[in-house]
Structure 1
Amino acid sequence: MSLPGSLPKMAERQQNGEERDEGFEILDLAEARRRGWLKDMFPKDLSAKSVGTQIAVGGVSGWCAGYLFSKVGKLAATAVGGGFLLLQIANHAGYVKINWKRVEKDMEKYKKEIGKQAEKAYPDVAQILQQAKTFMQENMVVAGGFAGGFLIGLAS
């Protein structure tokens, strides 16, 4: 609890350099971006850890990713499949007439357009994929544990 006259005194001490709060850490985001997100996610030198630790880290992270992928994948597949099923039922009942050749032509056009926009909007994707490839090459045991954990996560 501060006293009534303490705020002006604190401001005056800070201006004079008498009191500084060292509890804050200054982050250089440009440096963090250059380091890469994979290196920040795992311990400094994971390859120096024991094989068991590497497999455990890879397995647990792989299981989490696989589990989430299976749940989200099931939800997406249900939504897309259900929509397609309803569209087919409506087509069969005569409610709608679908020109499948036009749909295919439009899909190809939009696929190319989305690809171009994605390259413009997310230029860092190639860099992230390269970082992931380098990480996997340097930490083959972790990558193997991740692959196994991912498959187990998909199955659960």
Structure 2
Amino acid sequence: MAEETDSGLDESFEILDVRGTAGGPLGTVMNTVTQYLDKYPTTTRVVLGGTGGYVTGYVFKTVGKTAASAVGGGLLLIQIAHKAGYITINTSRLNRDARRFERRVRNEMRQNESAFTNFARRGEEFVRNNSPAALGFAAGFLIGLST
């Protein structure tokens, strides 16, 4: 397209379609995965989704066990130290700080509600457009958690 300006110079410009590019890093990854999976037949999509789900489930299980052991062990040590008299816990201050933290988290969640809704909508759209891969991922994830 070309337009003539007041100075008589012929300027050409191109209109770029940038719709759908403002999704952030997650949107970019989802678009890339969608374009990649569209090239393959359904069985390949299920296998790729299942493999990715299995690896993700296994990693979640391993990391989850480690985190649960660390948190549980830390709480156990704190309780033992408190009963032995090494530390004292100010329960009224602890409860006050917990209530303050809860209010802050609720306010943050209210402020970011639209971002979460947008994330959920995009995830639902991704699953609808790539149901074989999503089904494979879900099945692989559950198998990875159980092994």
TM-score range, shorter chain: 0.5 to 0.7
What is the alpha-carbon distance in structure 2 between the residues aligned to residue 145 and residue 154 of structure 1? 14
Residues 63-122 of structure 1 show CA distances to partners (whole Å, capped at 9, x for unaligned) of 122122122212221221121011110111122233445434422321331343466589
Partner Cα distance (1:84, 1:101) in 2: 18
Q: What is the alpha-carbon distance in structure 2 between the residues aligned to residue 91 and residue 50 of structure 1?
A: 61
Q: Deviations over 1:22-54 (max 9, x none)?
A: xxxxxx9986334823122343563x7433112
Q: Does 1:152 align with 2:143?
A: yes
Q: Hey, what does 2:83 align to over in structure 1?
A: 92
Stretch deviating more after TM superposition (62-71 or 91-100): 91-100
More strand per residue: 1 or 2?
Answer: 2
Unaligned 5+ segments in structure 1 are 1-27
* SS state at 2:86 partner: coil
**2:65 maps to 1:74:** yes
Unaligned runs of 5+ in 2: 1-16
**In structure 2, how many angstroms separate the alpha carbons of the residues matched to 1:135 and 1:31?**
13
- Counting only pairs closer than 5 Å after superposition, residues 1-156 of structure 1 correspond to structure 2 as 32-34=21-23, 36-37=27-28, 38-44=30-36, 46=38, 49-100=40-91, 102-117=93-108, 124-156=115-147
Aligned pair count? 128
CA RMSD, aligned part only?
3.2
| Runs of 4+ off more than 6 Å | none
Question: 2:37, 2:45 within 8 Å by CA — same for their partners in 1?
Answer: no
Q: Secondary structure at the match of 1:98?
A: coil
TM-score normalised by the chain length of structure 1: 0.63
